[in-house]
């Protein structure tokens, strides 16, 4: 349903068809990573444009301006604007506002994270879906560097939401920091006394962080409710540890013949086993990154006793034990679960 209302002095929030907008009767000062007219600009309108159903990745990337200009025209806008684009449904937006005595912050977010990634990893893009787009409106007068700091604070808040949901990279299974096409715009009305700080501990930064974190979380759950209710096995699969892979690897042990169906039956008959495997995967995350506590010097040996909750037997002498290609904590927990089924 289309919406329009006053958001701040001289600023309107507009939602029409596939376009979400902050529109001002005067110019915003903006800092943006938007695909169209991003950078440090003065604009009257900030757009977040949803890609319509059936609009292909090829169409979008061969000629993004066709979608952008036709969408802006729905609001009778043909100049002096910047535009972000998202595959998420803009009607699943969240808008959060918080005020102080000196200024106010409003954040509108749309979010999808089916293509989560961990910045710094090797990414081979297959297709683009999802995207987390954030518009931060500051009813105040931040300096340009302050607005850049606000953009960083908003990005940190976004990543914190993904950490809270234990989202993983589609490409490696590592902890996700964002999706592959995220964009952030910070716009200000330039009203009032000058603001110079927007880091997470500053007065402005606290508002930006709070509003962004809440808006991204709400928008993400509207777009993809699954993130709040994944099973243990789904969360393992997001780490690239599937039932099929576990069955294949555990069957390398001489005398253990378990296919995916049988392993799934074992795990379903012992719900605690799935929780145990998920806990083991978290230990493996730290093991891989050399972040395990200093209490023990030899975590490789400690991992071998991770299955004692099921049985204290030492399985490291089993034939082909060393050939099992699984992270160490998952490996030992799984052996104990299967051998004691």
pTM (two decimals): 0.91
175 DSSP 8-state letter = B
CB 188 within 8 A of CB 141: yes
Which residue has tokens 């780490």?
A: 239
Residues with Cβ within 8 Å of residue 61, at least 6 apart in sequence: none
Domains in the chain with CATH codes: 3-228 (3.60.70), 232-339 (no CATH)
pLDDT tens, position by position, for the chain (341 residues)?
789 999 988 999 999 999 999 999 999 999 999 999 999 999 999 999 999 876 656 566 667 888 999 999 999 999 999 999 998 999 999 999 999 999 999 999 999 988 888 999 888 776 656 689 999 999 999 999 999 999 999 999 999 999 999 999 999 999 999 998 899 999 999 999 999 999 999 999 999 999 999 999 999 999 999 999 899 999 999 999 999 999 999 999 887 889 999 999 999 998 889 999 999 999 999 888 888 787 766 766 666 666 555 555 666 777 787 889 999 899 988 988 888 87
Give the span between the Cα atoms of 178 and 132, in whole angstroms: 8
Give the span between the Cα atoms of 322 and 311, in whole angstroms: 20
Give the span between the Cα atoms of 203 and 195, in whole angstroms: 10
Q: Distances in Å between the alpha carbon of 136 and those of 114, 147, 153, 211, 292?
A: 23, 10, 11, 9, 37
Reduced to 3 states, what is the DSSP secondary structure of residue 282?
helix
| CA terminus-to-terminus distance, the chain | 54
């Amino acid at each position: 349903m289309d919406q329009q209302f006053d958001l701040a002095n001289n600023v309107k929030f507009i939602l029409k068809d596939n376009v979400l907008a902050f529109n001002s009767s005067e110019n915003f000062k903006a800092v943006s990573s938007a695909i169209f007219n991003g950078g440090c600009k003065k604009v009257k309108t900030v757009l977040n444009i949803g890609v319509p159903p059936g609009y292909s990745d090829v169409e979008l990337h061969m000629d993004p301006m066709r979608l952008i200009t036709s969408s802006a025209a729905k609001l009778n806008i043909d100049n002096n604007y910047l535009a972000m684009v998202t595959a998420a449904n803009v009607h699943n937006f969240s808008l959060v506002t918080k005020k102080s005595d000196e200024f106010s912050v409003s954040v509108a977010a749309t979010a999808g994270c089916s293509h989560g990634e961990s910045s710094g990893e090797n990414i081979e893009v297959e297709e683009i879906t999802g995207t987390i787009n954030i518009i931060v409106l500051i009813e105040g007068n931040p300096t340009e560097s302050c607005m850049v700091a606000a953009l960083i604070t908003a990005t940190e808040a976004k990543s914190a939401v993904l950490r809270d949901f234990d989202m993983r990279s589609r490409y490696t299974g590592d902890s996700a920091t964002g999706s592959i096409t995220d964009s952030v715009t910070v716009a200000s009305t330039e009203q009032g006394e000058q603001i110079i700080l927007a880091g997470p501990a500053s007065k402005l930064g606290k508002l930006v962080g709070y509003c962004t974190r809440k808006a991204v979380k709400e928008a993400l759950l509207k777009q993809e409710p699954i993130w709040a209710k994944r099973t243990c096995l789904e969360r393992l699969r997001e780490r690239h540890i599937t039932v099929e892979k576990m069955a294949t690897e555990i069957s390398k042990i001489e005398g253990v013949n378990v296919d995916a169906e049988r392993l799934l039956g074992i795990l379903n008959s012992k719900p605690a086993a799935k929780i145990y495997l998920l806990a083991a995967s978290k230990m493996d995350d730290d093991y891989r990154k050399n972040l395990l506590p200093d209490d023990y010097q030899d975590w490789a040996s400690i991992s071998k006793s991770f299955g004692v909750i099921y049985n204290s037997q030492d399985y490291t002498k089993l034939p082909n034990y060393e050939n099992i290609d699984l992270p160490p904590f998952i490996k030992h927990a799984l052996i104990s679960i299967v051998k004691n089924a």
